[in-house]
Amino acid sequence: MSNFQWIFALTVAALGTSRSGEAAATGDLTNAAAFSALCGVYNALTAPQTVVDVGGQLNALAADVGALNMSAAAPEFQALFDPKDPKTKAKHPSRPSAPADAVASWDMYYDFWLKSKQQMEANEKQRRLKAAIGLPPSAKVQLKELAEAAFKLPTAPELTKPKEKQQEFVEAANTAIYGGDPTTTSAGGGHANDRQAECGKTDGNKGTLSGKTLRNDFLCVCAASSEAQTKAKTCCDACAAPGGTQWTNPENGAKIFDHLKEHCSTFATEDQATPSAINGAIKGLITQASQNQGTNNAVQFVLGTIETSLTAGCCGQSSANGGMCVSYKDGTTKKAVIDWLRPAQTAAAALPALTAANKEAETLLAKAEHLNATAYTAMETALGIAIAKTNVIVSHKATNSDCSQHSKNQSECEKADNNCKWEGKNETEGTCKPKDGGKADKQTNTAGGAGDATKEGTAASTGCASHGIKADCENDKTGDKQNCAWRKGKEGETDEPDKFAALLF
C-alpha cells in the first residue's frame, strides 16, 4: 500500500471517531486543535533539510593536485599562466593553432591550469615542499594521471545531486502549501458573504478552495472575515491579523497566512525534515478532520468547529448552523478529498533520495582527499628516492677516498674495508686502492637528480628538446595524445621541437 493510499485508508478507519455531539459556539481558541494539526503539516514540510555542499573543499583539493602537476612542468609552460594577468584561453598568444587535439586540450584544460598555477604560487608561500621539477619521468606520468582525475572531480554529477534533490523536495512542499512557487501563486479570495462557496458549502460538501492548498485551509479555519460575527482569535490568542486585516481578497489572504504561519513555531518539534514527521503530521490532520461532530454527530470530514449542523456552511463566523471551518467531503464519493496530500507525500518521498545524494557527495569528497594525499605521497616518495640515491653515491665516494688511509700494509688494507685492495711489491710496500679502480668517483661526478635541467652546451637527454629530428618529435605520444610538436624555425634558426607543446595532460 502506498503512502497516499494509506492516508485514505486512515480516513476510513477514523469513521468511528467522534467529538461530543453538543453544539459549540465559535469563539476564541475553539479551532486551536485544528490550527495545531495544520501547523503540524506546515512545520514538517518547512523543517530544515541537510544538504551536503563539498564544492569548495573539492575544488581546493583538485586545484592542489593540479598545482603539484604544474610544479613538475617546465618553467616555460608555467610562465604561460599568470593569475594576476589572466588571458582568455581563446585569445592567449600561446594558444596552439594545430594539431586539433592540442587545440582541444588547451581549451579543455586552460582554466584548470590557471587555477593550478594560482594554487602553486600559494603553496610556495605555505608549504615546505614547493616544486616537483626534479621528479623522474615515471613519477611525472603518475602525477599527470592524478591531475587528470582531479580535473574531472569538480564536474562529477555527485557534486550537485544534493542540491537537486533538495530542490525536488522544496518544489513538492511548496506545491502542497501554496500550489506552486510562493512568489507566483495567489491565496484564495475569501469573498465576503460567499465564504461557504470556497471553504465548505451549505450541503456539507467541500468548497472551491477546500483542500487545494494548505494555505487556503489555514485561511478557511483561522482568518477573520467581514461578517459581523467573525472571530479573529479562533485559532490562537496571537492569531488576529495586524491592523484587523480581514480575508476579503487574495492580497489580504497572503498577509494573514504569513502572520498565521509565524505562530506555527509554537508547535514545531522537528529540527530536520523527515518522511516520518511529514506522514505523522498528515495522519494527525486526517484524524482531526475525520471526527464526527455537530448534531447527532452527523458531520464528518470538516476541520474546525461547527455549531449544530452545517446547513449554513463554513461561513467564516459564529453561526447557529455553521462556523469557521474547511470541509473536505466530496459530494460524489462521500469521502475526504485533499489535493495537497499528493505533493506532500512527494516531498516526503524526496527526502531519502536527498540523504542518499548527501552520502554520494561525501564519498566524492573522500575520493578527492585520497587523490590529494596520493599525489603528495607520490611526489614526496619520488623526490625522497632521488635524494637517497645521491646520498649513497656521496657515501660511496667517501669510502673510496678512505682506502688511501690504510696503506701501512696489505693486511690493514684488506681488513679495513672490503672495497679496498692492495697493490704493491710485497706486504709492506704498496698502496691501498678502491677495488673498482675509481669508478665511484666518476659516477659521483656525472650523477644528478632525475629531471634536472640540461646544462648549457650539452644535448638534452629528456623531454621534447631531446628529439633532434622531426620524426622522433612527432612520434612522442602518450596513447593518442601528442606530447611534442615540431616548430618551424624562424629566420636564422633551424627547425626544432615546440617547447610549449608538451602539455600537462
Mean pLDDT (whole number) for 379-402: 51
User: Which residues lie below 8 Å from residue 226, measured CB to CB, with a gap of 6+?
Assistant: 192, 193, 246, 248
Instruction: Tell me which of 348 and 416 has the higher pLDDT.
Output: 348
Q: Please report the pLDDT score of residue 482 as a whole number.
A: 65
Q: Please report the pLDDT score of residue 474 as a whole number.
A: 66
Q: Please report the pLDDT score of residue 4 as a whole number.
A: 41
The label of the residue with cell 497566512 reads: 257
Instruction: Tell me which of 490 and 62 has the higher pLDDT.
Output: 62
Mean pLDDT (whole number) for 145-164: 96
Nearest alpha carbon to residue 134 among 370, 496, 389: 389
Q: What is the pLDDT of residues 285-295, one digit of tens each?
A: 999 999 999 88
Mean pLDDT (whole number) for 408-429: 77
Nearest alpha carbon to residue 498 among 475, 466, 471, 465: 465
**Do 270 and 277 touch, CB atoms closer than 8 A?**
yes
Q: Please report the pLDDT score of residue 17 as a whole number.
A: 44
Q: Please report the pLDDT score of residue 128 as a whole number.
A: 53
- Which of 42-46, 255-259, 489-493 comes out lowest in average pLDDT? 489-493
Instruction: Tell me which of 469 and 390 has the higher pLDDT.
Output: 469
* Percent above pLDDT 90 for the chain: 52
Most confidently predicted of 63-72, 111-120, 214-223: 214-223
The model scores a pTM over 0.85: no
The label of the residue with cell 605521497 reads: 377
Mean pLDDT (whole number) for 212-218: 98
Q: Please report the pLDDT score of residue 174 as a whole number.
A: 99
Residue 481, H or E segment: strand 481-482
Q: Please report the pLDDT score of residue 387 as a whole number.
A: 45
**Do 315 and 302 touch, CB atoms closer than 8 A?**
no
Most confidently predicted of 385-389, 417-421, 462-466: 417-421
Mean pLDDT (whole number) for 149-170: 96
The C-alpha atoms of residue 125 and residue 116 are separated, in whole angstroms, by 14
- Which of 78-92, 228-242, 259-273, 428-442 comes out lowest in average pLDDT? 428-442
Most confidently predicted of 40-49, 117-126, 396-405, 447-456: 40-49
The C-alpha atoms of residue 328 and residue 220 are separated, in whole angstroms, by 12
Q: What is the pLDDT of residues 462-482, one digit of tens each?
A: 556 555 455 556 666 666 666
What is each CA distance from 499 to 87, 140, 241, in whole angstroms? Answer: 20, 17, 75
Residue 268 pairs in a beta bridge with none
269: confidence class by pLDDT, cuts 50, 70, 90: confident
Task: Report whether pLDDT(486) > 60.
Answer: no
- Which of 251-260, 392-401, 440-449 comes out lowest in average pLDDT? 440-449
Mean pLDDT (whole number) for 256-269: 94
User: Which residues lie below 8 Å from residue 137, measured CB to CB, with a gap of 6+?
Assistant: 450, 451, 462
Task: Report whether pLDDT(489) > 70.
Answer: no
The C-alpha atoms of residue 14 and residue 37 are separated, in whole angstroms, by 15
**Do 103 and 149 touch, CB atoms closer than 8 A?**
no
- Which of 109-118, 368-377, 479-488 comes out lowest in average pLDDT? 479-488
Q: Please report the pLDDT score of residue 62 as a whole number.
A: 96
Instruction: Tell me which of 396 and 463 has the higher pLDDT.
Output: 463
Task: Report whether pLDDT(21) > 50.
Answer: no
Burial of 368 (0-12, 13-18, 19+ CB in 10 A): buried
Query: What single-letter DSSP state applies at residue 430?
Result: E
Q: What is the pLDDT of residues 47-105, one digit of tens each?
A: 999 999 999 999 999 999 999 999 888 888 999 999 888 678 888 888 998 899 999 99
Q: What is the mean pLDDT of the chain?
A: 81
Q: Please report the pLDDT score of residue 501 as a whole number.
A: 44
Alpha helix (H) residue ranges in 137-293: 137-152, 161-178, 195-199, 214-222, 250-262, 275-290
Q: Where are the domains of the chain?
A: 24-49+165-341, 407-448
